[in-house]
Each structure stands twice: as C-alpha cells, then as structure tokens.
Structure 1
C-alpha cells in the first residue's frame, strides 16, 4: 500500500525520536525518497503516493516540502499534522503508516539504520550521483520535473543487485 509522504515522514520522525536524534527537512526528504526507491525495487510498488521532483538539492516531494518548510534547516520537532474536511466540520490528524504493515515499517527501520545518521548535504550528494533518478531526470527534462517511478525502481534494483 502506498502512503502520503507525510505518513512516511512521520514514521522516520518516530525512528529518529526512538534513537534520541532528529532530522532536518532536507534529510527527511531524502530518506522518504530512498525508502520509496527501495520499496519500488523490492516489491514493485511505491511506498509513497506523492510524486518527487528534481529540485536543486535533490528529489523533493512538494507536498512534504510545504509541510516542513517552516522548520527551515532546523530539526523537525514534532510529527506532521494534517486535516480532513467532512461537510462543514474538519479535524486534524497525524498521518501514519498502518500499524499492521510490517513490511513498510521494517523497510523504514532498515533505511533509517543505514542512512539516518547521514547529514542532509551528504544525502543530497548521494541522490545527485551520475545515473541516479535525479540526475537522469534533470539531464532529460531539467529542474522541477517529476522523476518517473520506473527510473527510480530500476536505479534501486541495480543498487540492490550490485
């Protein structure tokens, strides 16, 4: 099942909190992108139902960016809240991954264990490597282009096989 980038980001927020750490918005963007890439490669389906675009510092989910931009480059200090409307009523809620979705939770834990301590600019460099989905899409279509899922999937499949 695919989730909003907000739900996946909240799962990474929880992982960082468990370790007594924190993540910046740029780190969060890259971790969500990387987790989505590995899910595409392993299961053939996306973890995130939002698109990622080619931005200057790497892949960005614009929806997630809008929710995190108030933190600037500072650590994210709380889970992301969203709201839903039902007629004239609305409520706030914390987007999350279903508790019984063990595969997604395990993937996030694994990605966090490998990349969670990597600083934001190093993660950006990783996503800029020649042949990366960001690099290929930037070369073909320029900045602000949507990074196609098949390019992400193939790149992460190759990483797993190398």
Structure 2
C-alpha cells in the first residue's frame, strides 16, 4: 500500500517549498523522504506495505536516483529548478506533510553535493552498489529493507 501520492507530487512539493532545489538535490530529498516514510509508516521490516510513493531508487554514481525524476529534470543540469507552484498540499495527509516538512528542515540546508556525500556514507546505497567501482554505472535498486533497517536504527541511536 502506498500513500495516494506519486513521486511527482512529492517532487513538486519539494520544488515549491525548498531552497535552491537542483536535480541532484531533488533526487536526494525524494530518497530521504521515501526512506524515512518506510520507517515512520511501517512497523516491521518484513512487512513494508506503506510507502510514500510507488517508485524505487537505483544506486547511481552520484547517489540514489529515480529514473522518472531524472528524465523529468535532467535538462536543468546543475541549475536550480524553477518552482511552478504545482504542489497541492490539500491532497497530502497531515502525517505525510509533517514528514516532508521534517525532511526539508533536516536535509534542506544541504546542497546536492553534500547530500550525495551523505548517501555515499550510508549502507543502503553502499549495499546496492555492491562491487561496482566508483565511476561504474549501476542500475541496482536500493533495498526497502536496507533503508528501513539503516534509518530505523538511527532513531534508536
């Protein structure tokens, strides 16, 4: 089961409510929102039914990437994505809106390169990369179970 949001709905929210959102930063914000939603909206690693949206992330060279969002915003390159005020906060539940605001508050001050470095130090991306060399392309998907386990342990620490 997922929330009734698409990844584009969440991307629109971050673009409209974030600071200096570049394509790389957007990817990482979406990733962190997805990963933390797994932790907050599920009770068991073996039963991860509630997801923020029904998408996945691949272990690309520059960190977790969703192909659909990459294709949508790649023309911006390293530039800031212009907000278009597309997000409809009324379709976002209070719990999800609270999560997105927290992600924005915690990760929003960082730029895309800083968020990339952070994801590179975390086991979900490292595990998905496997034995790929630093500049090797990879389409390996990050595991929901790894995300739940890694970020869930951060709550306890």
TM-score, length-normalised on structure 1?
Answer: 0.81
Larger Rg: 1
C-alpha spacing 1:159/1:79, structure 2 compared with 1 (3 Å): farther
- Corresponding residue of 1:89: none
C-alpha spacing 1:140/1:160, structure 2 compared with 1 (3 Å): farther
Quote how far apart the aligned CAs of 1:100 are: 5.0
- Corresponding residue of 2:8: 6
C-alpha spacing 1:155/1:103, structure 2 compared with 1 (3 Å): same
CA contact (8 A) 2:13 2:87 kept: no
Quote how far apart the aligned CAs of 1:133 are: 0.5
Give 5+ residue unaligned stretches, structure 2: 43-49
Count residues with an aligned counterpart: 144
- Corresponding residue of 1:139: 130
C-alpha spacing 1:15/1:148, structure 2 compared with 1 (3 Å): same
C-alpha spacing 1:76/1:158, structure 2 compared with 1 (3 Å): same
1:102 maps to which of 94, 102, 112: 94
2:66 corresponds to 1:67:
no
Indicate the structure with greater strand content.
Answer: 1
Misfit runs of 4+, over 2 Å: 94-100
CA contact (8 A) 1:2 1:46 kept: no
User: What are the superposed Cα offsets for residues 71-117 of structure 1, whole Å, 9 maximum, x if unpaired?
Assistant: 1110001349xxxxxxxxxxxxx575653501111101011011101
2:56 corresponds to 1:51:
yes
CA contact (8 A) 1:58 1:127 kept: yes
